[in-house]
């Protein structure tokens, strides 16, 4: 018996700085309905899918800055997305900027939630590998201020029993670090949702990389993570030119073999759909990548002591 999860990777085109929640949620619902009509079980949206990617500039107005964060999930206009998912009986994962804590001690995270077909939150992840810097670089055409606007995630890399298998989440820069996939795989992850907002050019941090190399490395890290951990990886991008920043795109669904089985073709709102057989993870997880059988951290020498 196979365990098929039909997944839609829901790429988004640019979200303008002045675009409000109602407008964005309407776009998300349109993709959700399209996925439901195609028989999908799960829709994966990008990182920070409800707003423009505000860490690309210094936000000096505290009212504007607070407007980019969600105090609860769902709240306000976003409730419509949850209600429509429950009506259509389709699940989703959604990236957003989270305001947690209290009024006296607010905490800010780059987060994602996994939502079931009943419209209820199954679990949450908070981004751990924050890129960029915490200070303004006026010489750059745009900023990368995630370290200014967010704390490092404090939930670890949890997995969740959902959609007939074991699912995990990560966000954007997490995909470049092998420990992300390995920590999820050690807990049995069979499908990993991964939303991202990545510039095609990254001022001050490209180290001479061409756009072609950036695109290559974007797919390389996801394909390697999928193959080495025998898991499906659903990488979903923000695409197009957003407030002057050209986004990388490259939305794709990667099989446990490391092969890309579906990808988008445009720079706008678009679905890439694939039937993800969770049982396709079994040959790798019980074969050459059987972690319990073949992984021996005690033999790694100084690496173990250094960790």
* DSSP-derived secondary structure for 164-206: TEEEEEEEGGGGG-HHHHHHHHTTT-SEEEEEE--BSS-TTT-
pLDDT confidence of 206, banded at 50, 70, 90?
low
Q: Which of 47, 146, 242, 263 is catalytic?
A: 47
Say how far apart CA 64 and CA 69 lie, in whole Å: 10
The tokens of 260 are what? 């890309």
pLDDT tens-digit readout, 48-100: 999 999 999 999 999 999 999 999 999 999 999 999 999 999 999 999 999 99
Is-catalytic flag, 172? yes
pLDDT of the residue at 299? 83
Does residue 304 carry a pLDDT above 70? no
pLDDT of the residue at 303? 55
- What average pLDDT does the chain have? 95
pLDDT tens-digit readout, 277-300: 999 999 999 999 999 999 988 888
Instruction: Note the pTM of the prediction, 2 decimals.
Output: 0.96
Q: Which domain holds residue 107?
A: 4-306
Is-catalytic flag, 127? yes
Say how far apart CA 122 and CA 113 lie, in whole Å: 7
% of the chain exceeding 70 in pLDDT: 97
Q: Which of 40, 84, 98, 127 is catalytic?
A: 127
> Could you please report the per-residue DSSP string of 108-148?
EEEEEEEE-TTS-EEEEEE--S--S-SS--TTSSS---HHH
Q: Which of 40, 172, 245, 252 is catalytic?
A: 172
Give the CATH number for residue 45.
3.60.110.10
Q: Domain count for the chain, please give it.
A: 1
pLDDT of the residue at 298? 84
Does residue 207 carry a pLDDT above 70? no
Name 247's Cβ contacts closer than 8 Å, sequence gap at least 6.
14, 197, 198, 199, 200, 237, 238, 239, 240, 241, 267
């Amino acid at each position: 018996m196979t365990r098929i999860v039909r997944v839609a990777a829901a790429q988004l085109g640019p979200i303008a700085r002045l675009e409000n929640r109602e407008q964005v949620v309407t776009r998300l619902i349109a993709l959700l309905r399209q996925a439901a009509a195609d028989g999908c079980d799960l829709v994966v949206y990008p990182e920070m899918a409800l707003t423009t990617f505000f860490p690309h500039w210094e936000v000096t107005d505290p009212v504007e800055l607070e407007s980019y964060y969600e105090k609860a999930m769902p709240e306000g206009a976003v409730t419509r997305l949850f209600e429509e998912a429950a009506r259509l009986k389709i699940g989703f994962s959604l990236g957003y900027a989270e305001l947690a804590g209290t009024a006296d001690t607010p905490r800010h995270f780059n987060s994602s939630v996994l939502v079931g077909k009943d419209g209820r939150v199954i679990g949450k992840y908070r981004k751990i590998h924050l890129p960029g810097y915490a200070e303004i670089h006026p010489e750059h055409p745009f900023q990368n201020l995630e370290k200014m606007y967010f704390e490092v995630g404090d939930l670890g890399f949890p997995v969740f029993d959902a959609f007939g298998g074991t699912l995990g989440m990560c966000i954007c820069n997490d995909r470049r670090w092998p420990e992300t996939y390995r920590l999820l795989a050690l807990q049995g992850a069979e499908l990993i949702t991964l939303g991202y907002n990545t510039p095609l050019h990254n001022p001050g941090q490209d180290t001479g990389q061409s756009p072609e190399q950036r695109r290559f490395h974007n797919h390389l890290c996801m394909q390697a993570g999928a193959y080495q951990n025998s898991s499906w990886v659903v990488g979903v991008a923000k695409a197009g030119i957003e407030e002057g920043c050209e986004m990388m795109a490259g939305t794709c669904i990667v099989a446990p073999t490391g092969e890309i089985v579906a990808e988008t073709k445009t720079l706008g709102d678009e679905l890439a759909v694939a039937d993800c057989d969770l049982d396709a993870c079994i040959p790798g997880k019980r074969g050459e990548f059987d972690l319990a059988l073949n992984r021996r951290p005690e033999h790694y020498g100084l690496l173990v002591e250094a960790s």
